[in-house]
Chain A
Amino acid sequence: MIEVQVGEEREASAAALPSVPAIHTLELAKRYRTTTALAGLTMTVPKGEVFGFLGPNGAGKTTAVKLLVGLIRPTSGEGWVLGEPIGDRLTRRRIGYLPELFRYQDWLSAREVLRLHCELARIPRQRWKEEIGQALKIVGLAERADDRVGTFSKGMQQRLGLGVALLGRPELVLLDEPTSALDPVGRHDVREIIRDLKRRGTTVFLNSHLLSEVEQVCDRVAVIDKGRVIALGTLDELRGVENALRLRVGGLGDAGEALLHRFGEVDIDGDWYIVRGIESDAVPRLVAALVQLGGRVYAVEPSRQTLEDRFLQLLGGHTGDTRDGYTHHSASDPA
């Protein structure tokens, strides 16, 4: 059974941590008159990590990101970004941000937008040309650099937004649904950019509801629903291992199937047998016994939940009740 740890110790503060995390929040909340957009976000994102922030529409993901970059003020709770309180103006020099719903001045060209952001980000003027050229190249807009943004498709504007977020080699890049307007090629490009950022040691906070995207690039993931983190951990921790085995075996007679039943509960999925409840040290014995009975073993693999399965399980099982802002889930919790 794998326990998915949620939340951090309430007493912890940014200063007390051994190394300053990229993001640290304690019960960060945002309430509007009758709506709770974020009920109490407690999480820590270490530097250098690609952190996925998953949740259904309206879960509070964008609210959380806006709080982190100072676009909205928290109703309660605290948060630190790169060791400084959220909203700190000078810290924003070290942050790149791609908003979810945004527009650039449609009367500017892509190059001019990048130049404007170089100026606003206080990047030394002698570096502008290099930064702009690199950003345009990375997001694939070099050939459209001097076209007006007003002529760009939504996907191209999102590419430009990503380029803007990368200016000045920020230590932390927050991407809010960065691929929502992109085609499959664009999505692949974004994944490569994120991987490249990770190689450079940049922390990436990826806000998304696209599970496959998160699954492919993130080191750790927080799942948020109804304004609260309901699970947080590495992908393996989140997905969990079911103590189940998938086997593709030919030539199994009744005796072979009976053998399988002795090791656990058996399901059939097409050509595959799924044996649930089998301990890992029993697997070699099962395979040897199957071969002895004349079975032709083509494949043996541990059965894992997909992130989607786990995500749906978490959302289905989340009733919203929490203890002091913390909710604990385990992979074996009933959905």
Chain B
Amino acid sequence: MAILTIARLTLREASRRRLLLAVAILTVVVAVLSAWGFHRLLQLPCGPDYNPHPCSGSTLRVIAATLLILLMFMFSFVLALGAAFLGAPSIATEVESGVTLAILPRPIRRSDVVLGKWLGLSTVLALYAGISCGLEFVIVKIALNYVPPHPILAIVFVVAEAIAVLSLTMLGSTRIPAMACGIIVLVLFGMTWMGGIAGAVGAAFHSHAIESIGTASSLLLPTDGLWRAAIYNLEPVSVIVVGGSVGREGSGNPFFVPSGPTMAYLLWAVGWIAAMLSLAAWSFKRRDL
């Protein structure tokens, strides 16, 4: 199948261009640093300076959960950036350089090229997310004996967020030069993140107008909604209870989510990704080369 041929080619390109090697080295560096940090956490004293004592298990778990969410935020941000960097040139640069002129006259559909590249790049992103996040979970388990409530689901949502960015970027890449495409998508990604925070503040203060901004942005680009789903699956019950008790003052905290995503929203997100891919295939098919 041509889709698999293109996907394999994309993976091989990632490998040949030393992307996989660079990512592997950086993952190891982050893992080593975070392992050191979590190990040090165990040795830090709790209580006042004049009467230090070891931290309780529950305190350590809350700290670990918070740090883990921050680490996951870093990974999700890196993944979103990576998705934009990988997706933006995927079609645009190959059209500009003439690589597509040699490939497309073969008996393949243009949608094969779009889907194959999407599949290959999604695999790269999923591998990175799975290995780096999984490694962090293992480190926290060993260092603090803490496992977040739904680690696999959290990774799935972080990967889904990156794939949403990738799908939108690939749609842009069928028509817009790579640099402009990457910048546009990253600005939209940032705006959606802020929209999500605004929505949470609006909900806390019962401002439907502000809340609707968050709802609209999470529907137009479901990256923040998926990121919030990942956070929710990383939060232990104690964090949800503590976070919920803070009240309106805590509503602007982008690393706390009081409730999980609805099934309707998840279906919307899946449909949204499928729609972006279909539009990308259609747009590329209609393009004169």
Contacts and interface: CB of A to CB of B under 8 A. Distances in A.
Interface string B1-24: 010010001000100110000000
Interface in B90-110: 97-99, 101-109
Nearest to A96: B105
A102 B106 contact: no
Contacts of B108: 89, 120
Nearest to A98: B102
Contacts of B263: none
Contacts of B104: 70-71
B98 A120 contact: no
Contacts of A71: 101, 104-105, 288-289
Given A89-B108, A107-B13, A107-B16, A120 B101 contact: no
Contact of A103 (B102, B286, B289): B102
B107 A93 contact: yes
Interface in A71-100: 71-73, 89-93, 95, 97, 99
Nearest to B106: A120
B21 to A, nearest CB: 13
Contacts of A73: 286, 288
Interface of A: 66, 69-73, 89-93, 95, 97, 99, 101-105, 107-108, 116-117, 119-122, 161, 164
A71 B5 CA distance: 20
Tell me the interface secondary structure of chain A in the complex: loop
B105 A90 contact: no
A116 B5 contact: yes
Given A103-B97, A107-B17, A161 B106 contact: no
Nearest 6 A/B pairs, CB to CB = A120-B106, A72-B288, A102-B98, A107-B16, A99-B101, A69-B105
Given A71-B105, A102-B101, A117-B106, 15 more contacts: A66-B289, A73-B288, A89-B107, A90-B107, A99-B98, A99-B102, A102-B98, A103-B97, A103-B99, A104-B99, A105-B9, A107-B16, A116-B9, A120-B5, A122-B107
A146 to B, nearest CB: 14
B107 A92 contact: yes
Given A99-B98, A107-B17, A120 B103 contact: yes
Given A89-B108, A93-B107, A120-B108, A164 B288 contact: no
Nearest to B102: A102
A120 B99 contact: no
A72 B288 CA distance: 4
A89 B112 CA distance: 12
17 contacts: A66-B289, A70-B105, A71-B105, A73-B286, A73-B288, A89-B109, A92-B107, A93-B107, A97-B105, A99-B98, A101-B101, A102-B101, A103-B97, A103-B99, A107-B13, A121-B107, A164-B102
A125 to B, nearest CB: 12
B9 A92 contact: no
Contacts of A89: 107-109
A70 B289 CA distance: 9
Contacts of A101: 98, 101
Nearest to B286: A73
Contacts of A90: 107
A105 B106 contact: no
A105 B98 contact: no
Contacts of B289: 66, 71-72
